[in-house]
Structure 1
Amino acid sequence: MERSRRFGDVYLAPTLWRGVGLEELCERLLPPGQERISWAKMAAVLVAARFCEPSSELHIAEDWYRRTALCDLLQLGDEEVNKDRLYRGLDHLLVHKAALEAHLSQRCGELFAIQNDVLLYDVTSTYFEGQAEANPQARRGHSRDHRPDCKQVCIALVVTFDGFPLGYEVFAANTNDSRTLQTIVATMEARHGVVGRVWITDRAMASAKNLAWLRETGRRYIIGAPKSELKKFGAELAAAAGWRTVQAGVEVKLARHPETDEIVILCRSADRRSKERAMHDRFSERIAAALERLAARIARSKKHLDPAPINRQIGRLLQRNQRAAARFAIALEPDGCPAGVRLCVTCNDAFDDWAAISEGAYLLRSNIADWNDQQLWKAYIQLTQAEAAFRIQKDQLNVRPIWHQREDRVQAHILVCFLAFVMWKSLEMWQQRAGLGNSPRTILEELARIQSHDVVLPTTTHGQIRLRCVTHPDPAQAALLDRLGLVLPKRMRIAEQAAPPLAAIA
């Protein structure tokens, strides 16, 4: 046996690529020209690599592609895939971003009966390695990846109610989240239509300007509101009547916003209450212990102390523990002791009273009058699908860090990650319907153990016979393939003897 290569996972990738219609679409968008290798095939290589083993274009060309049987499946020799051709493939693919998104919205709606009338919207960031001086969007900003030392860009992603990606846009890193909303809404509606849309997003988008714009333009929405707005509804929170249990440990109540007459969904969660109470207690204990030590140090001092450094120390203490800072009233008062001052600390009873009411509570704002409280709350909770999409792209598809320095290459890198996520989500829905859970990585790792080999048979009269064979799946793999409805080929044609690409699998 010779030429052993990974087969199972790279067989699944082109299957998904064709299944969601991307092979046919790319062949139409990237028709053959004067190039020797079709750009549609290079796009398939880029996305398959991101789906199976996320890595750089250099790694794809020099290592990954040569270890897989993708060359046999695509009828594209190892020597035809190099980093320069992959980079140019990125450039050709990026031009068709809008067409790709529009196609995927329609095609995946047909495959999985996905409805895109309720859209979930969220923003994340991803950072660069290098200075990215050729990219005007690369800026410093709030880093969700805890890498404030690196430049970054913001990615605004829209997914359906089921978490299927519908589209995205890239913004400069110093763009406030709220300033992206109107651009995203207008862009997505231009591509996918306007009628019946419901937009769901978190409190980072809940600026007065955005809410006014959504109302004035007749768009329906459910948006999380800043916690500071809870104070406007203190009476409703404190009242025992009107609450309805929508899930174990979660209660909601509807009210009207006093300024805009919007529907306000007041929510309180037992788990969230326990978490916030524990946080308040922990920060309060830290502040109390630090103030006790500070008071003792002041009392022991044998010389006159300057109040300014002490006040700065108190300020830093409260800043580090700001969740409980309002609980304490702290003052340095003149005193006849050697230090000249003494520390006076009192507890603010109003803080404890409000904490007892507001711990575990949050509110949502909406202008949807024909949904009940349970429907509104459950729709907003689906926003976790957008957060899960970001986790998959970062942890499984390695959208970060970005090594490209040019703006167009960065945009193309994110597009390839988006297309790989479409395939990832398609596999997830496929395996869910087959009763195989919701972990595509487990499927890929299991199938990756299936390999292809060249079996070389020497003969006395006809030289060597070379057969390119696929290993027989073990019982677990066979059961997995059966549930997915996949049939692996037993043999493949060797590229040098190949018929046209569609006949590559014998």
Structure 2
Amino acid sequence: MYGKANRVWLMDRGIPTEATLKFMRKNNISYLVGTPRRQLDDYSSELSQKDWEQVNSSVHVKYIEKEGECYVLARSRDRMQKERAMRKRKLRKYLDGLEKLKGYRNYERFYKRLGALQSQAGKAYRCVELNIPGQKERIEAGEFRYHINRQKYRDMIYRDGKYFLRTNQKGKDGKALWNEYMLQCNVEQSFRELKSDLGIRPVYHHKEERVDAHIFVAFISYCLQVTLRHKLRVSACGLTAQAALETMSRIQMLDVTFETLDGRYLLMERYTEPEADQRLILHHLNMDLPLQKPPKIYSSQVKD
């Protein structure tokens, strides 16, 4: 079925090269890929003439066709707020670190600390211009200075929350292409949830059947989590699947053993009674915990 099912290749920005995309166009292979946001300047004039089209409450898109390809500019309000908050936090920490660097006099220590600060700041450090002294044993007071390049900062703000997509598909509007691209984000999110929320991390197995078992357990676990997320969304309780799992994980299973007067042992398998927040989740999910099991009697000590 390879090449015959009209599949669409979804790729994030930085994955495909221009040579790869040219090969795919030549062989009629459909693709929808993310494009670095710095390339927005090449299409800004055409995009500025288009109106925003609403996809949902927080996402708007623009759509143009050029040179045999279609380009989609998407603007996400939630993503914009997240990126700006992250940059603001990193930039503040970076500027605080630069201010402390003014007190450094040893040149080697100065450069090591500067490199660490820029690594922690990520791309935010690019909007700060530095006046760095030349290499010498001792840095004099006032030799190191810095200031914010406001034009670079405005350029960063302009790109916040924006996705730039390109495709060779025809007959699809901006909404359809955006929803199609989101499939890739959903797949990426599922892998993050497997590793973080569910704690099922990649493991190197020596036997093929263990690999199959690992994939099966991961798939079933993720299906259960998706089902839980759907039920929570339908109930409109405002809880995420992760929050619900963390709350319900406080319910513990335990075995209580008593020795009777005639030397036998009474075993009661119990779970802790749900607290108020746990009972509320069960109510929203329209679920009840099973009845506590009846006690069991053994003639000898029950082994662990």
Q: Give the TM-score of the pair, scaled to structure 2.
A: 0.63
Structure 1 residue 364: deviation in Å?
1.0
Matched, 1:233 2:43: yes
> In the alignment, which of 159, 180, 187 is matched to residue 379 of structure 1?
180
2:128 matches 1:319: no
Matched, 1:253 2:62: yes
**Equivalent-residue separation in structure 2 for 1:202 and 1:213 (angstroms):** 18
Q: Tell me: CA distance 1:291–1:388, structure 2 relative to 1, closer, same or farther (3 Å).
A: closer
**Contact 2:133 2:139 (C-alpha < 8 Å) held by counterparts:** no
AA aligned opposite 1:198:
V
Distance 1:203 1:410 in 2: 34
Specify the SS of the correspondent of 1:342. coil
Gaps of 5+ in 1: 1-188, 299-304, 446-475, 481-506
Q: Which residue is 1:217 aligned to?
A: 27
Superposed displacement of residue 243, structure 1: 2.0
The structure-2 alpha-carbon separation of the partners of 1:380 and 1:341, relative to structure 1 and needing over 3 Å to count, comes to: same
Task: Look up the match of 1:143.
Answer: none
1:49 matched to which residue of 2?
Answer: none
1:281 is aligned to 2:105: no
Determine what percentage of the aligned residue pairs are the same residue: 23
Question: Alpha-carbon deviations, 1:281-339, whole Å to 9, x = none?
Answer: 222211222222222x15xxxxxx453432332222112102211111112347xx982
C-alpha separation in 1, matches of 2:116 and 2:152? 20
Q: Is the 8 A contact 1:283 1:323 kept in 2?
A: no
Q: 1:402 is matched with which residue: 197, 203, 206? A: 203
1:79 is aligned to none
2:130 pairs with 1:330 = yes
AA at the equivalent of 1:316 = A
Where 1:368 maps in the other structure, the secondary structure is coil
**d(CA) in 2 for partners of 1:307, 1:215:** 53
Q: Secondary structure at the match of 1:364?
A: strand
What is the count of residue pairs matched by the alignment? 239
- Residue 93 of structure 2: SS of its match in structure 1? helix
Deviation sequence 1:180-229 (CA, Å, 0-9, x none): xxxxxxxxx44xx7233233343353333432332222122222223343
Larger relative contact order (CA 8 Å, sep ≥ 6)? 1
Q: Secondary structure at the match of 1:215?
A: helix
Instruction: Render the CA deviation track for 1:436-472: whole Å, top value 9, x for unaligned.
Output: 9998x99xx9xxxxxxxxxxxxxxxxxxxxxxxxxxx
Q: 1 CA distance for matches of 2:46 and 2:4?
A: 35
Structure 1 residues 206 and 401: CA distance shift in structure 2, 3 A: closer
Per the alignment, residue 156 of structure 2 pairs with 355
Structure 1 residues 308 and 249 mapped into 2: Cα distance closer, same or farther (>3 Å)? same
Matched, 1:271 2:81: no
Structure 1 residues 234 and 410: CA distance shift in structure 2, 3 A: farther
CA distance, structure 1, for counterparts of residue 219 and residue 100 of structure 2? 57
Match of 1:390 in 2: 191
8 Å Cα contact 2:13/2:34 also seen in 1: yes
Which consecutive unaligned segments of at least 5 residues does structure 2 have? 249-282, 288-304
Inter-partner Cα distance in structure 2 for 1:199 and 1:267: 19
Deviation at 1:380? 1.4
Judge conservation of contact 1:256–1:263 (CA < 8 Å) in 2: yes
**Contact 1:265-1:373 at 8 Å conserved across structures:** yes
Q: CA deviation at 1:266?
A: 0.7
What one-letter code is carried by the residue in structure 2 that aligns with 1:253? Answer: K
- 1:368: how far off? 1.1
**How much has 1:403 moved relative to structure 2?**
6.4
Q: Secondary structure at the match of 2:164?
A: strand
Change (3 A) 1:328 1:396: closer
Specify whether residues 233 and 352 from structure 1 end up closer, same or farther in structure 2 by C-alpha distance, changes over 3 A only: farther
Q: Please give the alpha-carbon distance, in whole angstroms, between the structure 2 residues aligned to 1:338 and 1:352.
A: 29
* 8 A Cα contact 2:62 2:73, kept in partner: yes
Distance 1:338 1:205 in 2: 43
Preserved CA contact (<8 Å) 2:59 2:77 = yes
Structure 1 residues 247 and 407, CA gap change in structure 2 (3 angstroms): same
Q: What CA distance in whole angstroms lies between the structure 1 residues aligned with 2:111 and 2:195?
A: 43
Q: CA deviation at 1:394?
A: 4.4
Change (3 A) 1:381 1:342: same
Classify the secondary structure of the residue corresponding to 1:232. Answer: helix
CA distance in 2, matches of 1:326, 1:253: 28
Distance 2:193 2:90 in 1: 33
The residue that corresponds to 2:145 in the other structure is 344
Would the aligned equivalents of 1:393 and 1:399 in 2 still touch at CA under 8 Å?
Answer: yes
Cα 1:200–1:343 change in 2 (3 A) is: same
Distance in 2 between the 1:340 and 1:392 partners? 50
Distance 1:319-1:261 versus aligned 2 partners, 3 A rule: farther
Q: Structure 1 residues 330 and 235, CA, compared in 2 at 3 Å: closer, same or farther?
A: farther
Structure 1 position 416 matched with structure 2 position 216: yes
